[in-house]
Structure 1
Amino acid sequence: MKKKVRTQKYRTIEPSTLDANRALDLVVALMKVPGPSCHEEQITKQVRRRLTAAGIPAAAITTDNAHKKSPAGGSTGNLIVKLPGTIRAPRRMLMAHLDTVPLCVGCRPIQRGDSLVSGNPKTALGADNRSGVAAILNAVLEIQRKKLPHPPLTLLFTIQEELGLFGSRFVNVSKLGSPKLAWNWDGRGPERITHAAIGGRTLSIQFHGIASHAGGAADRGVSALALAGVAIQDIVSGGWHGEFLRGGKVGTCNLATIHGGDATNVVTDRVDIEGECRSFDRRLLDRIAREVERACQRAVRSTKNCRGQRGSVTFHTDVEYEPFSIPKNAASVKAAESAIRSLGMTPELLTTQGALDANWLNARGIPVATLGAGQVAGHSLTERLDIDQFLTGCKVALRLATSPDLSA
């Protein structure tokens, strides 16, 4: 017989009107459901089932076609829920990503001290980001259960965040109802508000040389590997690799992988390099990509064989995620601060060097700030969920979903 997790096992630090056992049962149930990127169909069905069981009309729950636009494909799109308000106020959006890294598949959540961990030593837990999903879902279930008044609400459960933010990148914004305030749960401390995040570009470089015999006709060849070496030296000596400062703005560039060559007796005719650049400044991102491309072109022009022939280079850059910075006095930030203070905590404003679903929502004109719900050491076998922080994150979510006045 399948054993059910006993609610009395959960030991909470702070008494609260929040039904802690109910919230913890919810997050445990969600963490058990497999849902790696591109395979979120089971967790989507679980969330949908709980919403309809709570009385949310099926017509209020939809999925978009983000997976059809994603380069990774996938089995389902973003899950979107739109609820009319019972009080007059601007629409608010609460969001979190559904997918986990593959390491979480097969986890068995158990309590150890003041945390939840995976009882399967070969898996991570999935607190990233089932804690965020649970915080939002718990808020809506509480609203339904207790008939709490609330403004118009949109819930957005995204896909493929772990794979490259594809769910948020390709979300059908027209289905979201034009929210004026928005929050994303994906982090640890419930008192932390991430209001700015870095942007990134991919760098893909293909050097095309001229193959020839490395012994009998070496002078007729143009080594693509040599072209790559000249370009890399130019990029490094020009100060465009690693971390650097330009016009008071910080940027980074990393040429990460290089592949090429088939045999030692053939002048290499192709080399592929992959890299990335990051910055909080969009113009600096564009400039980094241009400088890398120019260095590659200079390398091609400077190298020729005995016949005066040169190789060539193909350069491509793509936006991985756009940088954003929400003003500290923006409504989403001030509302989050108010909710956090109401629970006796001091808000902490942060920026991050990593990427979030919030990057793409902000790029689409929706001012999303990111909050935490107790996840610790994600993507690892030591991942855990801090119970007290998770429950506090649930309280913050409920406050943001229901409070008529978030300016205090």
Structure 2
Amino acid sequence: MVIERFLDLVKIDSVSLQEHKVANYIKAFLDELEILYTEDDAGHKLGGTCGNIIARLDSADANSETILLAAHIDTVQPCVGVEPIIEDGVIRSCGDTILGGDDKAGVAVLLELLAHAKQLNGQHKNLICVFSIAEEIGIFGAKNLDIKALGKIDYAYILDGEGQPGKIYNQAPYSAKGTIKIIGKAAHSGVNPEEGINALVVLSDIISQMQIGRIDHETTCNIGKVSGGVATNVVMPSLEVMFEARSLDPQKLDQLLERTEKAFQAGCEKHQASYQFGVKKGTPGFNISTDSPVIENFKQACQKAQLKFSVEACGGGSDTNIYNSEGVAAILLGVGMEKIHTTDEFIKVADIENSLTLVKQLIN
């Protein structure tokens, strides 16, 4: 059933902030199973068409631990009119769109998990399943979820990672990005160029004093876009640089940002230019110890499901970041999706099925 559920879901259009068709599918499914759920006002706050959906199934054991599992219901574009194809145990789109395994694989697994748990008559851990919106455009659904209102959560697992079931991501980078503006001085390039201050020359000098790209095994930075100038006969009066930095160590990120601003300050002073530093920190990262209870619990589930456990750091952000920032120990799980955010995206049938087997063990 989980494969049929996945195929149903990927056929439903789900552009970020327009996820209501998927939300309606989920709510109809939960209504049929008579599982209690709520829909919050995140969509209203964000100008979307639906909110986050939170489903609950309580344990018959009053002293049971509480486990939260989550997946997001929006997909990146092009995601309209997805036509899934199964060949040799692999599911792809017809090639004109993404597949949407990111993250409808997670959604399908959670729905089938809820159906399974409903049949257990409370012989499972307290279960909270969150289906979040607007993840792909900035993790906005999770950011607008009242996590504290969910109550005490012992373990949280976010089904939104690449890699086979059994793989987890216990670290994600702290990041910062924004625009840095260099303000020089215009002059006619053929008449009095010496009276101008070329913003590009200033930037070139600054960059020559910086380390760009891989800083160390935990830290990177990049200048991804430079824009400025007026015409070929005008000394470039100003420019804007789009800058980003990431590190698994928050202190290293702070140090990198400090060095970067000092480099721009020194370079501008040298050339009698000025600058505006608009780089700001983004979503906080996380770092969960491999011997923490949330990971030990997952390791045990892997053993029971006979799946290989592996762990590594991820390079991007997800709902996992938000739960950790709110004090909930959460890790990101691989669910089999590959080549995400491209029209070459695919997922193996076996990986979806193994993901379901694994989460069943998590709630036992």
Asked whether 1:166 is paired with 2:140, we answer yes
Q: What is aligned with 1:23?
A: 2
Aligned to 1:288: 256
Aligned-partner Cα distance in 1 for 2:144–2:201: 39
Q: Does 1:271 align with 2:246?
A: no
* TM-score normalised by length of structure 1: 0.84
Match of 1:132 in 2: 106
What is residue 242 of structure 1 aligned with on the other side? Answer: 213
Letter in 2 for 1:355: G
Q: 1:133 to 1:208 in 2, by over 3 A?
A: same
Contact 1:132 1:372 (8 Å CA) reproduced: no
- Which amino acid letter does the alignment assign opposite residue 39 of structure 2? T
SS of alignment partner, residue 399 of structure 1: helix
Aligned counterpart, 1:211: 186
Q: Which moved more, 1:145-154 or 1:325-334?
A: 145-154
Match of 2:312 in 1: 350
Over aligned residue pairs, what C-alpha RMSD do you find?
1.9
For residue 91 of structure 1, report the CA deviation from its aligned partner: 1.6
Contact 2:175 2:284 in 1 (8 A): yes
> Which of 99, 103, 125 is matched with 2:74 structurally?
99
SS at match of 1:26: helix
Give 2:326's aligned amino acid: R
Task: Give CA-to-partner distance per residue, 1:22-59, whole Å, 9 cap, x none.
Answer: 111111111111112222222122112211121023xx
Report the equivalent of 2:39.
62
Match of 2:224 among 242, 256, 266: 256
What residue ranges of structure 2 are gaps of 5+ in the alignment?
Answer: none
Report the identity percentage.
Answer: 27
Any idea what the Cα deviations from partners look like across 1:226-271, whole Å, max 9, x if unmatched?
2222221221xxxx322124xxx73111111100012111222220
Whether 1:369 aligns to 2:334 is no
Q: What are the within-5 Å matches in structure 2 for residues 161-200 of structure 1? A: 161-187=135-161, 188-200=163-175
Which residue in the other structure is 1:317 paired with?
279
Structure 1: runs of 5+ lacking an equivalent: 1-21, 305-310, 404-408
Between stretches 253-262 and 36-45, larger displacement belongs to 36-45
Compare 83-92 and 136-145 and name the one that shifted more: 83-92
Q: Is the 8 A contact 2:39 2:51 kept in 1?
A: no
In the TM superposition, what whole-angstrom CA distance separates every residue of 1:353-388 from its partner, at most 9, and x where no partner exists? Answer: 233321222122111112122212212222222111
**Contact 1:231 1:296 (C-alpha < 8 Å) held by counterparts:** yes
Q: What is the identity, as a one-letter code, of the residue corresponding to 1:359?
A: N
Match of 1:144 in 2: 118
| Closer, same or farther: CA 77–219 of 1 in aligned 2, 3 Å | farther
The separation in 1 between residues aligned to 2:41 and 2:164, in whole angstroms, is 31
Q: 1:108 to 1:145 in 2, by over 3 A?
A: farther
1:66-85 correspondence to structure 2 within 5 Å: 68=45, 73-85=47-59
SS of equivalent to 1:393: helix
Kindly indicate whether the alpha-carbon contact (under 8 Å) linking 1:116 and 1:385 is maintained by their aligned counterparts in 2.
yes
Hey, what's the Cα distance between the residues in 1 that align with 2:86 and 2:48? 33
323-332 or 27-36: which moved more?
Answer: 323-332
Do 1:78 and 1:171's aligned partners in 2 also have CA atoms closer than 8 Å? yes
Kept in 2: contact 1:95–1:184 (CA 8 A)? yes
Separation (CA, whole Å) in 1 of partners of 2:331 and 2:237: 48
- 8 Å contact 2:58–2:122 — kept in the other structure? no
**Residue 307 (structure 1) aligns with:** none
Cα distance in 2 for residues equivalent to 1:253 and 1:355: 16
Determine the structure 1 residue equivalent to 2:288: 326
Which of 207, 212, 230 is the equivalent residue of 1:232?
Answer: 207
Q: 2-side partners of 1:359 and 1:243: how far apart?
A: 23
Deviations 1:48-102 (A, max 9, x none): 2211121023xx322242673x6xx533332222333322312210011111111
The equivalent of 1:383 in structure 2 is: 345
Give the structure 2 partner of residue 393 of structure 1.
355
CA offsets, 1:167-214, max 9 Å, x none? 233332233223111101113311112212222211420111222322
Distance apart, 1:391 and its partner CA: 0.3
CA-to-aligned-CA distance 1:85-126 (integer Å, 9 cap, x gap): 3223122100111111112321112321111222x3211211
May I ask how many residue pairs the two structures share in their alignment? 362
1:272–1:53 CA distance, 2 compared to 1 (3 A): same
Q: Give, in whole Å, the separation in 2 of the partners of 1:258 and 1:171.
A: 36
Residue 19 of structure 1: aligned partner: none
Structure 1 residues 76 and 317: alpha-carbon distance in aligned structure 2, compared to 1, 3 A threshold: farther
Distance 1:32 1:148, change over 3 A: farther
In the alignment, what sits opposite 1:8?
Answer: none
What letter is aligned with 1:102? Q
User: Retained in 2: the 8 A contact 1:48–1:61?
Assistant: no
More displaced, 74-83 or 294-303?
Answer: 74-83
Q: What corresponds to 2:22 in structure 1? A: 43
Q: Take 1:215 and 1:377, find their aligned partners in 2: how far apart are those partners?
A: 51
**Aligned amino acid, residue 185 of structure 1:** L
